[in-house]
Amino acid sequence: MKYLGIDYGSKRVGLAISDEDGKIAFPRAVVPNDEKLIPFVARMIEEEKVAKVVVGDTRSSSGIENPITKKVEAFAAALKERGGIPVELVSEIFSSVEAGRYSEKSTDHNDASAAAIILQRFLDMQAHRIQ
């Protein structure tokens, strides 16, 4: 099963995709957060035959919302409606910090890497649930 990971930001959105077996996440792209975002992601879901989307939840470790949390939730709901597949919010705590440690100085690269980190954490948790 193939997964799509998303690191949602107010200006840019990082995207990552898993392998066919849903075991390894790879940074894929960074796209502008504009009116073309939902159609772009929906097309990617279709072309890549994605079975589930994982979107980074921006809440703090104590569950407190921040200014972008409602936008993330609205994006996830719109994507679920448009894409017709499950969309799950998962914690993205420290994903951008971690991505910054392992990638180039480019913010764009960090956004896609953060999406891969969010997705990889999810995939690892799924693997542990199955065992």
- Render pLDDT for 70-115 as a digit per residue (tens, 0 to 9): 999 999 999 999 878 999 999 875 455 444 444 555 444 589 999 9
Q: Rounded to the nearest 10 degrees, how much is the dihedral formed by the CA atoms of 111, 29, 123, 91?
A: 30
Using CA atoms, how far apart are residues 25 and 2, in angstroms rounded to an integer?
10
Which phi and psi angles does 80 have, rounded to 5°? -60, -45
Give the total number of structural domains in the chain: 1
Q: CATH number of the domain at 80, please.
A: 3.30.420.140
Question: Of 4-18, 66-80, 105-119, which gets the smallest average pLDDT?
Answer: 105-119
Q: Rounded to the nearest 10 degrees, how much is the dihedral formed by the CA atoms of 28, 111, 115, 112?
A: 10
92/41: higher pLDDT:
41
128/95: higher pLDDT:
128
Structural domain harbouring 23: 3-130
Q: Say what the pLDDT of residue 126 is.
A: 85
